[in-house]
Amino acid sequence: MTRAFAILFASLALLAGAGQAHAQALNTGDIMGGGPNFSLGGANPIPRQTVSFAGNYAPGTIFINTAERRLYLVLQNGQALRYGIGVGRDGFRWSGTHRISAKKEWPGWTPPSQMLARRPDLPRYMPGGIDNPLGARAMYLGSTLYRIHGSNEPETIGQAVSSGCFRMTNDDVTDLYGRVSVGTTVVVKN
CATH number of the domain to which 165 belongs: 2.40.440.10
Q: Are residues 16 and 58 in the same domain?
A: no
Would you say 38 and 29 are in contact if contact means Cβ atoms under 8 Å apart?
A: yes
Nearest to 166 by CA among 87, 82, 101: 87
- d(C-alpha 188, C-alpha 26), whole Å: 38
- d(C-alpha 124, C-alpha 117), whole Å: 12
C-alpha R_g of the chain: 21
For the residues 118-142, what does the mean pLDDT come to? Answer: 93
Q: Are residues 27 and 68 in the same domain?
A: no
Can you give the pLDDT at residue 83?
A: 98
Which one is predicted more confidently, 23 or 81?
Answer: 81
pLDDT in tens, 18-77: 333 333 332 222 222 222 333 455 567 799 999 999 989 999 999 999 999 999 999 999
pLDDT in tens, 178-189: 999 999 999 999
Please state which of the ranges 5-9, 54-58, 88-92 shows the lowest mean pLDDT.
Answer: 5-9
Q: Are residues 119 and 170 in the same domain?
A: yes
Can you give the pLDDT at residue 48?
A: 94
Residues designated as active site: 149, 165
* Number of CB atoms found within 10 A of residue 5's CB: 9
